[in-house]
Structure 1
Amino acid sequence: MTEASPSHDTREHILAVAEPMILGRGFTAVGLTELLTAAGVPKGSFYHYFRSKEHFGEALLERYFAGYASRMETLFADGVPGPMRDRLLAYFASWLHGACDIENHGSCLAVKLSGEVCDLSEPMREALAHGMNQVVGKLSAAIAAAVADGSTTAGDDCDALAEALYSMWLGAALRTKVLRDPAPLQRALDETRRRLPQPD
């Protein structure tokens, strides 16, 4: 097995240290000096790993969505026990638990950064759009699988339903952050159950 290079390891370490800091305070509020000090990386070496802070932000989002996609694939993989509808509801319930972790500022980098960076950085906006589209695609495939296994009668337009559900959850997560109240996410979960009806 090929081992990661020291350069790759350091780059990954910077990104891993940065994610919780940016989840807590946002992208623009975290300075490079503070980040590199927290990572234990020499201050002058940042530009060896990233062309700019914008490029760093793009890499951070790409890393986040790659990990997110991997977790979705594990949950929705063929051979995993349980009806696909149950797994879809478990996925959305995990949003409720993660986004309501007020002490740790929630766990969704997409929710945290979408309002902050889209008007500031086109590459970061594109990384967000690409990552979100991947999530919607995986949700659509999972809804289609739930229809196929008979666990829901949600209908044939899985793409539209996946887009609607994901957009609803993004909005509910933002409302939860503003209100510091899980009620919007709980209502989103109730609506998701309704939009993924079980057979009579």
Structure 2
Amino acid sequence: MNTTDSNPTRQRIFDVAQSIIARKGFSAVGLNEVLLAAEVPKGSFYHYFASKDAFGTALLEHYFAAYLGDVDRIFQDPQLTAHEALMRYWQLWITNQTQQADCGKCLAVKLGAEVADLSEPMRLALQRGTSQIIEGLEAMIGKGMADGSVRRSASPAQMAVRLYALWLGASVMAKITRSPLSFDEALLQTRSLLTP
């Protein structure tokens, strides 16, 4: 889920940091660990980011841009009905959260509770990113309701918020239990809510 930053050094910092932070969290990772792994001198880091907080905000913005690009590719696939696109999105969610590699794991899930109370800029970056995801879901649900591939049971906006909250909760439960069973339940509930 990486996009390419126009600056290779900055991109390398993002790639390495996303993997480390997805595994350990934001607070537990020191800048020296990221810079050593990325093979970037400390002075170069401060050329790109004013502080660790500014770096965390930029990392989240970078992450969400890549994530939303992946979502757009699914939602714009002309071969899929809206219902099929939505179900493919949820399958991608499961894959990202259950894969062994840390680099694809959702930073919104990993950092949401951790940084929301520590950094207002990072909280706002999380809010903007998750709001964009929910808006994309809302548009796809609305499209599905219009073409008949998605059941009309609530407004697209209500359904998008409900489903995103369901999947965010399932992701947290999967981390707590170290089991994918919460995703199985979320998938069953999603099919029940969406299928006409």
| TM-score normalized by the length of structure 1 | 0.91
After TM superposition, give the deviation of residue 156 of structure 1 in Å.
Answer: 5.5
Aligned to 1:80: 78
**How far apart are the structure 1 equivalents of 2:90 and 2:153?**
19
Q: Which residue identity does 1:104 align to in structure 2?
A: A
| Partner residue of 2:188 out of 187, 190, 198 | 190
Aligned to 1:21: 20
Q: Is 1:61–2:49 an aligned residue pair?
A: no
Q: Is 1:34–2:29 an aligned residue pair?
A: no
**How far apart are the structure 2 equivalents of 1:86 and 1:48?**
44
What's the secondary structure of 1:104's corresponding residue?
A: coil
Structure 1 window deviating more from structure 2 (63-72 vs 152-161): it is 152-161
CA contact (8 A) 1:64 1:109 kept: yes
Aligned to 1:98: 96
**How far apart are the structure 2 equivalents of 1:149 and 1:182?**
32
For the pair shown, which has the larger CA radius of gyration, 1 or 2?
1
Aligned to 1:120: 118
**Residues 93-119 of structure 1: CA deviation (Å, up to 9, x unaligned):** 221222122x33571110000011111
The percentage of counterpart residues that share the same residue type is 45
**How far apart are the structure 1 equivalents of 2:108 and 2:27?**
15
What's the secondary structure of 1:37's corresponding residue?
A: helix
After TM superposition, give the deviation of residue 45 of structure 1 in Å.
Answer: 2.1
**Residues 71-100 of structure 1: CA deviation (Å, up to 9, x unaligned):** 1111111x5202110110111122122212
Aligned to 2:141: 143
Alignment of 1:146-165 (within 5 A): 146-155=144-153, 157-165=155-163
**Residues 162-198 of structure 1: CA deviation (Å, up to 9, x unaligned):** 0000011001000001100101111001000000022
Give the alignment's Cα RMSD to 1 decimal. Answer: 1.5
